């Protein structure tokens, strides 16, 4: 519902428009394209995907008609060689992508491609792909990771401002400390944070997009956290920029 809501998180996203240089294109790694193998959207006009159920009709009516960028898809394939990256023309822009971009670039006038997350690979693999994609930053491409540091739908409380669960708060704080301290090794091997990690990351799909972004961090780059907080007791809404 953050796609339609005016709150502290969506206002913080909108504020980034003034702080980020306008990109020539956006590469999004979304928690919601979780696959076997790696794919990149390669169509000129990706569809808006409503990959959810049980929400108000207004959310299903959202369209994000940004163009794709087949040339960027080919550029990504070259950067990730010899890894096979499939040029996909069936997926599109899922809600992990468009619910962020409706606030960042509401005019949908920046080309967008998505890169899928290979569910068969370990965390270090995804971090290394981020490192290999880092040259895109110097070519005017915004690399966007969309997920949640803590994402456990089985433990949510059906009240947006529910008290934060203790294990979720502890894990989120450890991750933020590691982000600011540039402890990438700890973030890759997140089970080292202890028993809380199993609850905070019951499946890695929502956590892994962060590792792609961290893989692009250069030696002189700082991390700027621009939102903190939780929704429904166990969804960490931390957002940061490199």
Q: Which domains does the chain have, with CATH numbers?
A: 8-241 (3.40.830.10)
Does the pLDDT of residue 89 top 90, yes or no?
yes
Nearest C-alpha neighbor of 38 from the set 134, 99, 111, 121: 121
User: What backbone torsions phi and psi does residue 118 show, to the nearest 5 degrees?
Assistant: -80, 110
Mean pLDDT of the chain, nearest integer: 94
Residue 39 backbone dihedrals phi, psi, to 5 degrees: -130, 160
Q: Are strands 141-146 and 38-41 parallel, antiparallel or unpaired?
A: unpaired
Q: What is the arithmetic mean of pLDDT over 71-89?
A: 97
Per-residue pLDDT at 156 exceeds 90: no
In this predicted structure, what is the pLDDT of residue 79? 97
Mean per-residue pLDDT, 181-199: 94
44 dihedral zone (left: phi>0; alpha: psi -120 to 50; beta): alpha
Q: CB atoms < 10 A from the CB of 68, how many? A: 23
Average pLDDT estimate for 135-156: 92
Interval 140-149 mean pLDDT: 97
Strands 25-30 and 235-236: unpaired
Handedness of CA 73, 46, 66, 106 (dihedral sign): negative
- For 226, phi and psi rounded to 5 degrees? -115, -5
pLDDT range class, residue 1, cuts 50, 70, 90: confident
pLDDT the model gives residue 162:
80
pLDDT band for position 189 (50/70/90)? Answer: very high
């Amino acid at each position: 519902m953050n796609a339609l809501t005016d709150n502290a998180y969506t206002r913080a996203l909108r504020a980034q428009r003034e702080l980020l240089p306008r990109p020539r294109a956006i590469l999004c790694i979304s928690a919601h394209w979780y696959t076997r193998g790696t794919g990149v959207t390669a169509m000129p006009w990706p569809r808006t995907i409503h990959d959810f159920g049980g929400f108000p009709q207004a959310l299903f009516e959202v369209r994000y008609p940004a163009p794709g960028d087949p040339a960027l898809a080919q550029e990504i394939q070259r950067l990730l060689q010899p890894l096979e990256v499939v040029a996909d023309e069936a997926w599109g822009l899922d809600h992990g992508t468009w619910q962020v971009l409706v606030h960042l670039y509401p005019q949908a006038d920046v080309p967008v491609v998505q890169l899928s997350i290979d569910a068969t690979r370990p965390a270090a693999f995804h971090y290394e792909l981020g490192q290999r994609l880092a040259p895109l930053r110097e070519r005017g491409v915004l690399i966007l990771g969309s997920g949640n540091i803590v994402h456990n739908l089985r433990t949510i409380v059906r009240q947006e401002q529910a008290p934060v669960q203790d294990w979720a708060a502890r894990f989120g704080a450890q991750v933020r400390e590691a982000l600011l301290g540039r402890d990438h090794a700890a973030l890759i091997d997140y089970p080292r944070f202890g028993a809380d990690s199993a609850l905070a990351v019951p499946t890695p799909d929502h956590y892994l997009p962060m590792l792609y972004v961290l893989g692009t961090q250069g030696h002189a780059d700082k991390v700027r956290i621009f939102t903190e907080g939780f929704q429904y007791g166990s969804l960490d809404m931390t957002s940061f920029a490199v």
